[in-house]
Amino acid sequence: EHLFKTDVRSRICLKTLELLGILHQTLGDYVQAEAELIEGLTLSRRIFGNASCEAAVARNNLGGLYNQQGRFSESLSLLCRALYPMISMHGEDSPGARSVYHNLAALLYARRDYRAAEESARKAWRISVRLLGEDHPQTRIEETIYASILNDLRRHLDFDS
């Protein structure tokens, strides 16, 4: 019973740090967002292990923040390290993998790597279709992002030829 209570408390604490980090990010307070998300990553690694899904979620969130700040190398490193645990523990068709692919698509698009962004956006969209259905709002978001990247990729390829 004691271990169960510790686990529940740890998960509540991690979720609180995640939500606070995302809130501060949304409000544009990147310094506080980074502090909350780093604390969440540190806590998840200490309690659940470096290769845990909890640490992968924290890396994904921090990677998304770093992308938004233009810290592309740090973002890419975190997102790549987040993807493998998500897929190995929950499979490619999981909400966690979809979220990482979503963030990877945004990062690669920002870096103007349109081909790689297209692949990640396609994966995020297909996972959403399989998990949520074609009419779900999240699936529509992924579809719009994917279509936008495809459009830019076509423009870029037309410009090069």
CA distance 98 to 124: 5
The pLDDT tens digits for 20-65 are 999 999 999 999 999 999 999 999 999 999 999 999 999 999 999 9
- pLDDT value of position 7: 84
Whether the CB-CB separation of 58 and 90 falls below 8 Å is answered with no
The pLDDT tens digits for 110-139 are 999 999 999 999 999 999 999 999 999 999
Confidence of residue 154 (pLDDT cuts 50, 70, 90): confident
The pLDDT tens digits for 61-96 are 999 999 999 999 999 999 999 999 999 999 999 999
- pLDDT value of position 5: 64
Helix (H) or strand (E) holding 49, with range, is none
Angle between helices 72-90 and 53-68 (to 10 degrees): 150
- pLDDT value of position 4: 58
Extract the tokens encoding 118: 């297209």
- pLDDT value of position 156: 77
The alpha-carbon radius of gyration of the chain (Å, integer) is 17
- pLDDT value of position 124: 97
3-state secondary structure at position 100: helix
- pLDDT value of position 3: 55
Reduce the secondary structure of the chain to three states and give it as a string: CHHHHHHHHHHHHHHHHHHHHHHHHHCCCHHHHHHHHHHHHHHHHHHHCCCCHHHHHHHHHHHHHHHHCCCHHHHHHHHHHHHHHHHHHHCCCCHHHHHHHHHHHHHHHHCCCHHHHHHHHHHHHHHHHHHHCCCCHHHHHHHHHHHHHHHHHHHHHHHHC
- pLDDT value of position 96: 95
**% residues pLDDT > 90 (the chain):** 88
| Nearest Cα to Cα of residue 30 among 67, 77, 56 | 67
